Amino acid sequence: MPLTLPDLPFPKNALAPYLSDRTLEFHHDKHHKAYVDNANKLLAGTELDKEDAETIIKKVAGDPSKAAIFNNVAQAWNHSFYWNCLKPKAGGRPTGQIAQKIDADFGSYEKFAEELKNAGITQFGSGWAWLVLKNGKLEITKTLNADTPIAHGINPLLTVDVWEHAYYLDYQNRRPDYLQAVIDNLINWDFVNSRL
């Protein structure tokens, strides 16, 4: 069962002015597609080629001989997850169960937003900022390169991609501005609630 490149859940111009159609064209059609294509080449003819992405990630995580498979499959999965975390005319204060959980576990939405932004800003080099559910409690975490919470048995609820290709065409070196724009305007709280 080869990995597939999912369609974006919105038109390429739907996240403007926060993320341009040019950014989404490169990010989805080039970067994400390359991870999917590379993963399928690496998996072809192996005992893993009939497994789904989450199963593959869990099976190969931490195995240096399978690092290329992990990197490409995890990046394909992370990107598919990221697209679902974004939505036009969204972001800002959540509603539903996640709003109550954020207040309970962070003390306030403002504290959550500050911690998520800070995780993205302080992720050295390439990686991801995450909201996860760990042992029944919400936490902010970050991962380097292709690493992903599912490789560690942790349930991700939300991610923001902080690889430069996610924002550089629109924000250049202003990663904090990109993170603020996503938090304020693009977080798909319906998806986050569905993961909770």
Reference 179, options 146, 130, 138, 108; nearest CA is 130
pLDDT (0 to 100) of residue 2: 80
d(CA 98, CA 91): 13
Q: What are phi and psi of 85, to 5 degrees?
A: -80, -10
Q: Specify the pLDDT at position 195.
A: 96
Full DSSP string of the chain: -----PPPSS-TTTTTTTS-HHHHIIIIIIIIHHHHHHHHHHHTTSTTTTS-HHHHHHHHTT-GGGHHHHHHHHHHHHHHHHHHTB-TT--SS--SHHHHHHHHHHSSHHHHHHHHHHHHHHS-SSEEEEEEEETTEEEEEEEETT--GGGGT-EEEEEEE-SGGGTHHHHTT-HHHHHHHHHHHTB-HHHHHHH-
The confidence score (pLDDT) of residue 1 equals 59
* pLDDT tens per residue across all 196 residues of the chain: 589 999 999 999 999 999 999 999 999 999 999 999 999 999 999 999 999 999 999 999 999 999 999 999 999 999 999 999 999 999 999 999 999 999 999 999 999 999 999 999 999 999 999 999 999 999 999 999 999 999 999 999 999 999 999 999 999 999 999 999 999 999 999 999 999 9
Q: Using an 8 Å Cβ cutoff, are 99 and 193 in contact? A: no
| Cα–Cα distance for residue pair 114/148, rounded to 1 Å | 21
What was the pLDDT predicted at 178? 98
Which tokens hold the place of 182? 């996503």
C-alpha 86: how far from its chain's center?
A: 9
Q: Are 119 and 130 in contact (CB under 8 A)?
A: yes
- Do residues 194 and 127 lie in contact, with contact meaning Cβ atoms separated by under 8 Å? no
